Structure 1
Amino acid sequence: MNDSPERISLAGRIRNNFLTGLVICAPLAITTWLTFTFIDWADSWVTPYIPQRYDPQYYLNIAVPGMGLLIAVVFITIVGFLGKNLIGRSIVKFGESILHRMPLVRTVYRSLKQIFETVLKEQSTSFKKCGLIEFPSPGSWALVFISGDAQGEIAAKLNTQGEEMVGVFLPPTPVPTAGFLMFVPKSKIIMLDMTPEQGAKLLISGGLIAPDYKPPVVQPMALEPPVDPMPLNQP
């Protein structure tokens, strides 16, 4: 009977050590698997289109992971460089003019181009801030990502009350890949200091992983010295 507590204690230590190791190894293993899966996927798309005489793996006689991805990055960079000069812009406009004549293709191309331009624009404020809105009822607050001010027809129809409307993306927990796009008054949003990456961690973990927050230090107001009363003129 005296050995039972020791066996329970030993089992508890083994379980705690296993859980600790799982917390350390699982994210590392999943990240490694996702990284190599993406590299293999990129290689499978790019490598078949590389002429054999230009493929470094042909001369090395070994498969180099990531070679196709590296070539794709170099190719995309060169296309971007050429697209900035006059000749490159002319070629791009000519290609787009052909795509715009195709009924189905032009819709897909315009939508994808608008999405990439919005996401990759350097000065875009899309999904660079997080906030809180009352949802689904007053007194309940939900985390949202700020997508930007309302524009176009939506802004013209909603900004009739003289208050600026803001588009927000409300993702679900724990998979923030789908959600609701809503337009709410800017005054109804509580802006947060956390980054979108920290907000995504908070959502995925169901509120368990909250970012550290240090409230701003309020400097005390300096008190002005009392003003001496004007001395009375002596006779």
Structure 2
Amino acid sequence: MSTLRKYLIAGLLVWLPLAITIWVLLWVLGLLDGIFGGLIATVVKVVPPGLGEALRELRQIPGLGVLTLLLLMLGTGVFAANIVGQWWLKQWDRLLHQVPIVKSIYSSVKQVSDTLFSSKGNAFREAVLVEYPRAGSWTIAFVTGTPAPEVAPLLGDGSEHVSIYVPTTPNPTSGFFLMVPKSQLRPLAMSVDAALKHIISMGVVAPNATSTAAADGQGKGAPSDPNPIG
């Protein structure tokens, strides 16, 4: 029985990641096709019958919603990359920033998306160790910047503080925003990508050999490292 259980678990470890990946991709595909189908259904009501029938046939093509979305994003990117497109986008931003309620949501989402996805963005600068949620308990966090000028003078002893993001596991998109003294952080000799993989896997997936070798040369960034960040 122990041998049979071992083989079953080995088979599960092979198929489970693949099955979940396929399920997520099919869900996204279905969602995009549904949105695309809804748009076609709306357009059909205002176009001539012959054209409407042709559009209905398009709904039967699987994956066309994904292709349409990709073409739309590509076309928008080309438009936004030239001078005329940039001028129109500025007018669009200015308009949305004048609408109550909408301006708060739009500006917040735009700032976050620009930080995360823009080539000029620098959302996670480096991975560090920090004592959290209590003394003697350490977790991986990411340096995101410095406290706002209005906040920095109120942080106590006058020591330099940094802003960090402490992600939860296995879902790093939720977490905690903290402002802590820079001296309390320990630098990690691993990339941000390697640290994210380590967090998502709940510590099961260790950093790659390159990161490990670099960490060995610096005491692996352990809490006992006498040289804090900076």
TM-score (norm 2): 0.75
Matched, 1:63 2:61: yes
Taking a change above 3 Å as real, the CA distance of residues 91 and 125 of structure 1, as seen in their structure-2 partners, is: closer
**Corresponding residue of 1:89:** 86
Taking a change above 3 Å as real, the CA distance of residues 13 and 116 of structure 1, as seen in their structure-2 partners, is: same
**Corresponding residue of 2:126:** 129
Alpha-carbon distance, 1:31 to partner? 0.7
Taking a change above 3 Å as real, the CA distance of residues 35 and 23 of structure 1, as seen in their structure-2 partners, is: same
Q: Distance in 1 between the 2:202 and 2:171 partners? A: 10
SS, match of residue 101 in structure 1: coil
**Corresponding residue of 2:47:** none
What does 1:1-235 correspond to in 2, within 5 Å? 11-50=1-40, 62-65=60-63, 67-155=64-152, 157-158=154-155, 161=158, 163=160, 165-212=161-208, 213-215=212-214
Q: Distance in 1 between the 2:91 and 2:171 partners? A: 41
Identity of aligned residues (%): 29
Between 111-120 and 133-142, the greater mean CA deviation after superposition: 133-142
CA offsets per residue over residues 173-231 of structure 1, 9 Å max, x none? 3433322100122232112133334323333333232224114687xxxxxxxxxxxxx
Q: Which letter does structure 1 place at the counterpart of 2:174? A: A
Q: Distance in 2 between the 1:210 and 1:127 partners? A: 19
Taking a change above 3 Å as real, the CA distance of residues 60 and 206 of structure 1, as seen in their structure-2 partners, is: closer
Alpha-carbon distance, 1:68 to partner? 1.2
User: Which protein is bigger by CA-based radius of gyration?
Assistant: 1
Q: Distance in 1 between the 2:2 and 2:145 partners? A: 51
Taking a change above 3 Å as real, the CA distance of residues 75 and 15 of structure 1, as seen in their structure-2 partners, is: same
Assess if the C-alpha contact under 8 Å between 1:57 and 1:64 holds in 2.
Answer: no
Q: Distance in 2 between the 1:182 and 1:202 partners? A: 20
SS, match of residue 68 in structure 2: helix
Please, which runs of 5 or more residues in structure 1 have no aligned partner?
1-10, 219-235
Between 78-87 and 52-61, the greater mean CA deviation after superposition: 52-61
Please, which runs of 5 or more residues in structure 2 have no aligned partner?
45-50, 218-230
**Corresponding residue of 2:223:** none
TM-score (norm 1): 0.74
Between 95-104 and 197-206, the greater mean CA deviation after superposition: 197-206
State how many pairs are aligned. 206
Alpha-carbon distance, 1:21 to partner? 0.6
Alpha-carbon distance, 1:38 to partner? 1.0
Q: Which letter does structure 2 place at the counterpart of 1:199? A: A
SS, match of residue 150 in structure 1: coil
4+ runs of 1 displaced by more than 6 Å?
A: 54-61
Alpha-carbon distance, 1:60 to partner? 7.7
- CA-based RMSD: 3.0
Q: Which letter does structure 2 place at the counterpart of 1:78? A: G
Alpha-carbon distance, 1:79 to partner? 1.5
Alpha-carbon distance, 1:54 to partner? 11
Q: Distance in 2 between the 1:55 and 1:176 partners? A: 45
Assess if the C-alpha contact under 8 Å between 2:141 and 2:165 holds in 1.
Answer: yes
Assess if the C-alpha contact under 8 Å between 2:163 and 2:180 holds in 1.
Answer: yes
Q: Distance in 1 between the 2:55 and 2:190 partners? A: 45
Alpha-carbon distance, 1:125 to partner? 2.5
Assess if the C-alpha contact under 8 Å between 1:57 and 1:63 holds in 2.
Answer: no
